[in-house]
Each structure stands twice: as C-alpha cells, then as structure tokens.
Structure 1
Amino acid sequence: MKFLKFLLFLVLIVLIGGAIYFATQDGTYQIEESTVIEAPKSVVYDIANDYKTWESWGPWKAEDPTMVWTYADKTSGEGASYSWQGEYDGSMTTTKAVPHTTLEQDLTIVTPGGERFPKVYWNFEDTEDGATKATWGMTGEHTIMDKAYFALSGMDFEAEQREMYAKGLDGLKKMAEEAITAYEINVDGLAEHGGGFYLYRTTSANAASISQIMGENYGGIMAFMNANNIKQSGMPFTIYNQMLENGAVIMTNAIPVKEKIVVAGETNVLSGFMPRTAALKVTLRGDYKNLSEAWARAYAALAEKGYEQSDQPPFEIYTNDPGEFPSPADWVTEIYIPIVDIQ
C-alpha cells in the first residue's frame, strides 16, 4: 500500500511538473504567408472579402471532403460571416474591412480540446509593376492542453498552418488572375451613332506601338483642353482611317466636345466633326488586347448579314475609364462599322 501511494505521488509530481513546464512555455503565435498576384489590388481584395469565394480557392475541401458551408445573409464587408461543419466545425466573422487594403476576421474552431479563437488578418499592397502583394496571417495563443499535445504528438502546428495558407494563396492567385482575363464579345446589330464635334490627333502606328501612341495622343489632347478650359462631352474614341494587314494603322485619336472649336496658333491638336451614321455595332467587355478578335467578329458579322460598309471609316469608343475600373474584365469598348443606309 505504501508503494502504491508513493507511485501515485510520483505520478502526481510528474503531472504537476509537466503542467508547470507547459504553462511556462510561450504559447503565442503569429503565422503569415505572402504571394504576389498579377492582378489589381481591388480585384484580389474583392475575392478575399467575399466568403462565398472561399470554398472555390481555399484548400480545405481537398483536405476534408466532408465539409459543408453555411453562409449568412451578408458574406462580404464588416459584419459578414459564414460557418462550416466537418472534421472540425467552425465559423468566421469579418470585424474590420478597409476597402482594397485590410481585412480582420475572428475565427472560431471547435477542437476535441474545446473552442479556439484565433485572429485572422489580410493585407493588400501595390507592387511597383502594378501587381498585388497579398499577405494572409493568423495570431493566437495555445492553451496548456494544446502545447502538451503538440509536444507529445510531434505535430508542427505552424508548419501545417503555413502550408495551408500557401495553398490558399495559390488558389486565390489563380482565381484573381483568371478573373481579369475574362472577356465577352457581343454582336449588337444595327445601331445609330449621333456623331458630333471632337478634338483629335492623327498619326500612324505599327502594331507594337499603338497603345503607347494612343496614350501620348490622348495626353496631348487633354493637356490642350485643360489649358484652354475646354470641357469633354463624351468618352474618347479612335477612328481607324486605315487598317493594314501587318497590323499597322493610320488612326485618329479623339475626344468629343460640345461645339466646334477654332484651333489657333501652332498646335498638333485639330478640330473635327463626325456625321450621324448607321452602323453595325459590336461590344467588347474585357481587356483591350481582345480588340483584334472583336474587330474580326465585327467584320465577319458584317459579311454574314450582307451589310455594305460606307466610306466613313470605322471607329471604337472606350465607354468607361480604366482608372475607375481597375480590372480589365470590366473595360467596355464599342465598335462601330458605318454602313450604307438600308432602304
């Protein structure tokens, strides 16, 4: 009997010693992973901000096929939340959302040892080349039971979390980079364009330099308009005076104005007028790099419908400002091929 008491006493000492040891170990942690995503910051933020996207880009489904997600009425922005059931149940709520910059979230995980309440955070930063650095992290503090379990089982909690975050960021990167490449071409059919006055520059450009020369021309026109207090009355457009087979063009880059402008003095900005015209209209929603396909579709539709192109050169209108729509998938360009009036 004395031996049993002595043995129990030793076990108790070991247990107390172990508890003291694990209690004195630092249980706080901060784990984060980062990646660079070739997409605007607003696009990356909007995906991470909406819990309904997490099931698509996150790694959890592959690791636990039994997971079932439940979404609240609000799934993005401050106060948004969702929950899940699986190997470990849990929920998450967004407590802070600074558009295109920061997210802070409260995470609850139900483990065999009880509930855990880590804090999750996201940071989104512009890179010098226009991409986005996305950082996903988590902070918290392990309980004595957690610390004992990790030590005795050999589980590397931080390594597993880092691997999960890295996989998740890879999924987020893929989704964001695919999102900005989405585009749609629609043949709208016959339309009438009202025409009007405009200020312009005409120049030639090869296929490789079109975008650069367009930017220089529009910058020069806007500088002239600002210097002379001339207001823009519509969205910029380009008239293609000639389209050559090698991709080179002679083009007129123009900005609409309300009335005829008398241009005096030495300047390379001129005043023009476009008459009202009937045209075949095609709309591209997506990156400008898809314009060549959109133009091909427009001319194919012209031939298919049997319309006759008029002497007025074709043109394209940039109906929204990329500065206000960071994702190329949201850019809208209208193509017009003027036709001979149908009797």
Structure 2
Amino acid sequence: MIKKTLLLIAIFVAGVLGFATTKPDTFSVQREVTVKAAPDKVAALVTDFQKWQLWSPWEKLDPDMQRTYGGPASGLGAKYVWHGDDKVGAGRMEIIEAAAPERTVIRLDFLKPFESHNTTVFTLTPQGDGTKVNWTMTGPSPYVSKVMNVFVSMDTMIGKDFDKGLANLKEVAEQ
C-alpha cells in the first residue's frame, strides 16, 4: 500500500513538472479603467513615483516601508527604490520611456522575496470627457514560475492588485 501511494505521488509530481514545461516563457497581466479626468491629470499620478502613495495597492501594506527617490521628480529617468517587510519585499522602478500623457514605460525589478525583472506600461487614451487607463505588466516566466502557474496564474495573483490600484487611481484622479 505504501509503495502504491509513493508511486502515485511520484506520478503526480512528475505530471505537474512535465505540464509546467508546456507553460509560456512569458507572462502578461493587463487591466483597464475609464477615469473621468484629463489624461494630463492621470499621467501626473503615474509619472511621479511620490504620488504612487496616493493610489498604489502596495503602498499601504507596510507602514514602515523605506522609500528612496532619484533622478528627476517625474517622467523619464525618475527612480523609486523600496525596502519593506515580507508583504512588499524590496525592489526598484525606473521610468525608461515617457511620452506623457499617452504612454509611460517602467522597468520594474523585484529583488526580494524573489528576483524578477518586468516591464510595466501605462497607456492613457482620451475617451470623451475622460481617460481610458490601461495598465500592463509583462515579464519572463522561469521554470519555477511555470510550476506555480500550474496551480495559480500570474493574472490571478496580480490582477486583483491591478484592479484595486486602478480603482484607487480613478478615485484620486476624479477628486
């Protein structure tokens, strides 16, 4: 009986590991919202990292999080480094492309609790008396991520945070 149980466990583990190899080499998470505010007003909240404290879903997770800002106050070259508890980890962001208010591209490097290097893009499109805000994050999906993806997708893990962040951004921009 023990041998059969161990064999079934081994088959299950081998199946999960094998199935993980079929997962994509990259991931993408995307959400959007329409905000009743001009693109310039929304862009000001995205391109100035110090204003992320007003809307980012991760900013309030660790009240003692340490933040350092560098480069220009906003736009191309603006930098943001954080170090916090296990909920927020440590990392850095830098705006690497700025075509405000239409498009902002951010290099996002997580250092803790795991290292990853991703790209975040905010695209702002005028829509009537408001702005459609599209928030996308893409990055590589190494094998460990593929194994995790067998059970829960990056979209499921991060998508709810994007939804919360966009709702916060909408609320702040519409004030």
TM-score range, shorter chain: 0.7 to 0.9
> Is 1:92 matched with 2:89?
no
Q: Does 1:167 align with 2:164?
A: yes
Look up the match of 2:141.
142
- Could you tell me how far apart the structure 1 residues matched to 2:56 and 2:133 are? 15
The one-letter code of the counterpart of 1:32 is Q
Give the counterpart letter for 2:170 in structure 1: K
Give the structure-1-normalised TM-score.
0.44
- The alignment-based identity, stated in percent, is 27
Q: Which residue of 2 aligns with 1:40?
A: 38
The aligned residue for residue 109 of structure 1 is 110
String of CA shifts for 1:184-208, please: whole Å, max 9, x gaps: xxxxxxxxxxxxxxxxxxxxxxxxx
| Runs ≥4 residues deviating over 4 A | 13-20
Amino acid at match of 1:123: T
Partner SS, residue 71 of structure 1: strand
Q: Per-residue deviation at 1:63?
A: 3.2
Map Cα deviations across residues 247-298 of structure 1 (whole Å, 9 max, x no partner): xxxxxxxxxxxxxxxxxxxxxxxxxxxxxxxxxxxxxxxxxxxxxxxxxxxx
3-state DSSP of counterpart to 2:27: strand
* Residue number in structure 2 paired with 1:126: 126
> Which digits, 9 at most, give the CA deviation of each residue in 1:78-100, with x for residues without a partner?
11110111222111111100021
| Aligned residue pair count | 165
Alpha-carbon shift at residue 28 of structure 1 (Å): 2.0
In 2: Cα distance, 1:26 partner to 1:150 partner: 10
Contact kept, 8 Å, 2:78 with 2:95, in 1: the verdict is yes
- 2:39 corresponds to 1:77: no
Paired residues of 1:19 and 1:144 also in contact (CA < 8 A): no
Taking a change above 3 Å as real, the CA distance of residues 22 and 85 of structure 1, as seen in their structure-2 partners, is same
- Give ranges in structure 2 of 5+ residues lacking alignment: 1-5
Cα distance between partner residues in 2 of 1:23 and 1:162? 23
Which has the higher relative contact order, 1 or 2, with Cα contacts under 8 A spaced 6 or more apart?
Answer: 2
| 1:22 aligned onto 2:28 | no
C-alpha deviation, 1:15, in angstroms:
7.1
* Aligned mates of 1:99, 1:62 — CA distance in 2: 27
Contact 1:75 1:82 in 2 (8 A): no
Residue 327 of structure 1 is matched in structure 2 by: none
Deviation at 1:31, TM superposition (A): 1.2
Deviations 1:169-225 (A, max 9, x none): 1111122122xxxxxxxxxxxxxxxxxxxxxxxxxxxxxxxxxxxxxxxxxxxxxxx
Choose which of 61, 64, 77 in structure 2 pairs with 1:63.
61
Question: For 1:76, what is the secondary structure of its paired residue?
Answer: coil
Output the aligned Cα RMSD.
2.4
Q: Secondary structure at the match of 1:79?
A: coil
Q: Is the 8 A contact 2:27 2:154 kept in 1?
A: no
Whichever residue aligns with residue 41 of structure 2, its letter is V
Rounded to whole Å, the distance in 2 between the matches of 1:78 and 1:103 is 9
Letter in 1 for 2:67: W
Query: Residue 66 of structure 1: CA displacement?
Result: 4.2
Larger gyration radius, structure 1 or structure 2: 1
Q: What's the counterpart of residue 177 of structure 1?
A: 174
Q: Measure, in 2, the Cα distance between the counterparts of 1:78 and 1:46.
A: 13
Query: What amino acid sits opposite 2:78 in the alignment?
Result: A
Describe the SS at the equivalent of 2:74. coil
CA separation of 1:89 and 1:127: change in aligned 2, threshold 3 A = same
CA distance in 1, matches of 2:112, 2:13: 23
Give the letter for the 1:118 counterpart.
Answer: N
Using a 3 Å threshold, how does the CA distance of structure 1 residues 155 and 14 change in structure 2: closer, same or farther?
Answer: closer
